[in-house]
Structure 1
Amino acid sequence: MKTRHPKRKLALLIAALCLGCEKSPPQATPAQHASPLPSKAFHVVNPNLYASLASNDGSTLLTAGTDGIIKYSRDGQLWHNANTSNTQHAIFDLQQNSHTGTLIAVGDFGTILRSTDEGKHWAKQTSDTTRPITRLTYSRFAKTWLAVGAEGTALKSVDDGINWQKIDGLTLQALQKVQSIDATKTWLIAAEQNVWLSTDQGLHWHTAPIANNLSVTSITSFSPKNITLATTSNGELLLQTNSGWLKKPISRGKYISALAHNNSTLVAASSDGWVFTSENLGDTWIGRKLNDNYIATIVWHPTAQKFVLAGSGATLFVSDQNGLDWQNIPTALTDDFETLIPLENNNTVTALGIGSQTATISLQDNSVRHTQQSLSGFVHSINWLPSGRVITSGAEGWLKKSDSFGKSWEQVLASTSNSDYLFSLKYLPQSKTLLAGGPPGVIFRSEDNGDTWEKVLEAEEASDGHFHTLITDPKREIVVALASPGRVRYSLDTGKTWEIANTDTSSHLYNGEVNPETGTILAVGQNSVVQRSQDGGLWHKTELLGSESLQAITFSPYTNTWFIGGEGGALWRSEDDAKTWQRLDSKTLRYIYNLATLKNNTLLATGNKGLILRSDDNGDSWHNVPSGVEENLRAPLEANNTIYISGRNGSIITSIDGGKSWQIEASHTAESLRVMAASSDSKHVIAAGRRIVVMGEN
């Protein structure tokens, strides 16, 4: 079973994001209402979803997470991306004003967003901080918003979220929870080692001695008895009554990760799959172990009269016995759930989590009504088939298909494993065959448009088949699996069977390409090594002057010229089909990772630190073109008279003048984007890596 550390992925993410937080951010003016999204825009398909909310009237469901994503839905099954004003920072919490209906979302880098149209459009507000803001609540009695976050960040707004002011006098510890208790007109803020309270709307604060040196994991109000409840990372329940605070054990030493209640029963859950139930305000507890997984959240569904809990490893349980007995809800999903939304109007609950994994459960019969698989992973290769289907391959056995231009994805039928890293994906048009391969020496093959895949090669040892790329000759349908390190394989029957090639792999080989006219197959690698073959089986080695690693390669069909490049700005050209080579002056020492031949024989080279080189004279001269970004850039894609380049940190840049100038696009993610592909009509574009980003109708 899948387990994780009690502090959870979200807490680790927040801590990492806080590194380098600025103390004095620049001032900004309050944001106005955001304009609608343009008809064509990039948006992220697979964010991790951490927070959720049902609107006051129950008509709209909202969820939010990484990449500045906020989605809204009427039924928990069909979701629409909200306009978040090009925000790409993670959203950690969102809440609604019970009086005005205004929605506020908070997140990384001091992000505060505000919506007045049920969550469809969001405007940025000034927070005066760049630290992560992680939790949020609305105080009805004070008509005030409260928000807390890293390094003692505490903010309030008295004008319904338009303007925000700092709350001073608290700790420099991370503030993890915030709650307004209307019955006692008290504000509570949980820090790493104590709880702070204010009874005068934040003018004065004091700590609760009972909570000293305790890490509070949840705070809630138990309305039937006007009691405040809190749980700790040490297995305890804290109660605040009119006479003071009480401490009651739930299960000593256990990290209590979630707490929920109805009018008579408390239900607490732990980070290692235990559930505890109390019907006497925590005096005694009945415990039951469900599994070994982290339980992230529990909700009470008042219409169905059931408790529902969710957590890591697709944990999903329902109790209609007041928390004493639990039914497992199998979904065939495997990733982590982070949040639950009860939809009271139709007796359903929706669980959401990592990679946008989703499950909607009908609580009438505890049946699964809808699921969406997690899209958490790393995509290394994309192939857009003539049928319009998109196939992607990648790390940990990733092999998925899409028939919706990349907006939704399904797992293919393939016996891949988490140890399979499918770096390369190729299509043979004559035989309509798909091949995917990579470390530790595996190749999968499909003849039915990518629906089912057969493993056709598995190296005996991982060191024998570290396949970096598959090289295909579309005319002869020869396929070469380029190993680095290991032994190169080749196939003459569209990948059904494989032979070991006669080639020298003492220097690693990184990349390869084919001259479609002559059938020459070229591979490049370490120590300025170039290897050449006519059939994929017999190879001839050439060592160029220098010792640079070579990784970039392209063939220009306009001039029948090869270009290769790599470390230290190394750039070479061959005009006799790779028999002899000429060193070119790239005018850079940066690593050239990619070379591409575009229309009209324009050549582009991309590399580290935002490098773009351009040549329009068959490589005689190269010009450094400002890209506007500093991260490593990937291979160029040309589609519909536009050139696209993706990169690390979520960069997507475009050019409409043949690469002479570049514009930074809003990709809505800061995660690495490894590859890009376009449909045959160039109307749809996908960028993928740690996230999947699609361009098209939102």
Structure 2
Amino acid sequence: MKSMQIRRTLVGLCLAASAAVFAAAPADAAKVPAPAMKARLAAKVPVTGLVRAGNALVAVGDYGTIVRSTDEGKTWQQAEVPVSALLTAVNFVDEMRGWAVGHGGLILATTDGGANWQVQATLDEKPVLLSVYFADAKRGYAVGAYGTAFGTTDGGREWKSMAVGSGHDADLHLNHVFGTRDGKLFIAAETGLAFRSTDRGASWAKLATGVTGSLWSGLERADGEVVLLGMSGRVIASRDGGTSWRALETGTEQSLTSGIALPNGGLIVVGAGGAVLRGDGNAPLQLEVRPDRQNLAAVAAGPTGALVVAGQLGVERLGSSK
């Protein structure tokens, strides 16, 4: 099954469009993107991405919905978004500047902490974008389905195609791109593959991870360890920059979709079926299964440690990450 199909399943998205609505619209209406509809329960829309932006939390999801919280997930406000497409990921370089990506090759940008968004670019051929990462305010990367990979060196005004995989690997879905503090870039991909760049995306090396199922996400822990998450409850970690990997015991076979590293060395991972895993330092990950068993797509912690998860039922505050 293709990566974007699984991701849609993980967050319980129902994206069937009404043929009657489109049939009734004027022929030129499709040329003007419809803004995200305002909704009283916007925070309950299926959410695919969630990050911290300074003291705020910002979540993106279906129907162009973006919501923002400044009280660690207690309340949420819907942002002004000029499109209604499915948004898949969001990333901030500081408390004000951020980017979101989604279907149709859309790249959105904000300069006010996520309250207002603008269309910064629509990539040629309108690919499905699955992840975005900015190393700083100028250098950014967006990846997605069928080997789609683009980079920018001017803050997103111009995006240039990057070649990540080669041969058969060139068409693999690239699910998540992220960076480490020492400047390396990593991409988690289909069929257990991952890629690494040590030259700001100019070239990419394929990594032998030792697993076969799709890898959905990745992160760097406080001690510099690189962690990748994926199908069948897989969590693999590398202490040498991706040259070798070891498997961590998770106690679940659910797909694991997202994780965060805590300043104290801890790790929190979420996934399908309400799976939430927590680990402190080198301690084994401890599995919790939420009673509602909702599929979780993302997790973030507020400035004082409040833990928020996001998925098919929107965003929800769980308590403290400490």
TM-score range, shorter chain: 0.7 to 0.9
Aligned residue number for residue 279 of structure 1: 239
Unaligned runs of 5+ in 2: 23-28
Aligned residue number for residue 257 of structure 1: 216
Change (3 A) 1:272 1:144: same
Matched, 1:69 2:43: yes
**TM-score, with structure 2 as normaliser:** 0.73
Matched, 1:200 2:154: yes
- After superposition, residues 416-495 of structure 1 pair within 5 angstroms as none
Q: What is the percentage of aligned positions where both structures have the same residue?
A: 19
- After superposition, residues 336-375 of structure 1 pair within 5 angstroms as 336=294, 338=296, 339-342=298-301, 345=304, 349=307, 360=319
* 1:251 alignment partner, SS class: coil
Tell whether the 8 Å contact from 1:114 to 1:125 is kept in structure 2 after alignment.
no
Tell whether the 8 Å contact from 1:6 to 1:271 is kept in structure 2 after alignment.
no
**Residue 340 of structure 1, CA deviation:** 3.1
Q: Which has the larger radius of gyration?
A: 1
Q: Over aligned residues, Cα RMSD in angstroms? A: 3.9
**Residue 23 of structure 1, CA deviation:** 2.5
Aligned residue number for residue 320 of structure 1: 280
* 1:200 alignment partner, SS class: coil
Q: Work out which of the residue numbers 175, 187, 200 in structure 2 matches 1:217.
A: 175
Aligned counterparts of 1:311 and 1:190: Cα–Cα separation in 2? 21
Aligned residue number for residue 536 of structure 1: none
Matched, 1:24 2:26: no
Change (3 A) 1:307 1:258: same
Letter in 1 for 2:266: K
* 1:292 alignment partner, SS class: coil
Q: CA deviation digits over 1:80-126, x for unaligned, max 9?
A: xxxxxxxxx5454454543xx67655433333456778774635525
Count of residue pairs brought into register by the alignment? 296
Aligned residue number for residue 297 of structure 1: 258
Change (3 A) 1:95 1:232: same
Aligned residue number for residue 177 of structure 1: 131
Letter in 1 for 2:234: W
**Residue 169 of structure 1, CA deviation:** 4.1
Aligned counterparts of 1:275 and 1:342: Cα–Cα separation in 2? 20
Tell whether the 8 Å contact from 2:13 to 2:62 is kept in structure 1 after alignment.
no
Q: Work out which of the residue numbers 233, 239, 242 in structure 1 matches 2:190.
A: 233
> Which structure shows the bigger proportion of residues in helix conformation?
2
Change (3 A) 1:280 1:15: farther
Change (3 A) 1:316 1:195: same
**Residue 283 of structure 1, CA deviation:** 0.5
- After superposition, residues 128-207 of structure 1 pair within 5 angstroms as 129-140=83-94, 144-158=97-111, 161-162=115-116, 164-182=118-136, 185-193=138-146, 194-207=148-161
**Residue 148 of structure 1, CA deviation:** 1.5
Change (3 A) 1:232 1:187: same
Matched, 1:244 2:218: no
Tell whether the 8 Å contact from 2:52 to 2:302 is kept in structure 1 after alignment.
no
- Point out which structure has higher relative CO (alpha carbons under 8 A, 6+ apart): 2
Aligned counterparts of 1:342 and 1:178: Cα–Cα separation in 2? 19
Change (3 A) 1:286 1:361: same
Letter in 1 for 2:256: I
* 1:9 alignment partner, SS class: helix
Matched, 1:9 2:9: yes
* 1:234 alignment partner, SS class: helix
Letter in 1 for 2:198: T
**Residue 192 of structure 1, CA deviation:** 0.8
* 1:177 alignment partner, SS class: strand
Aligned counterparts of 2:235 and 2:68: Cα–Cα separation in 1? 36
Aligned residue number for residue 529 of structure 1: none
Aligned counterparts of 2:273 and 2:68: Cα–Cα separation in 1? 33
Aligned residue number for residue 456 of structure 1: none
Aligned residue number for residue 125 of structure 1: 80
**Residue 333 of structure 1, CA deviation:** 3.1
Letter in 2 for 1:200: D
**Residue 335 of structure 1, CA deviation:** 1.1
**Residue 178 of structure 1, CA deviation:** 1.2
Aligned counterparts of 1:92 and 1:221: Cα–Cα separation in 2? 20
**TM-score, with structure 1 as normaliser:** 0.37
Aligned counterparts of 2:254 and 2:232: Cα–Cα separation in 1? 5
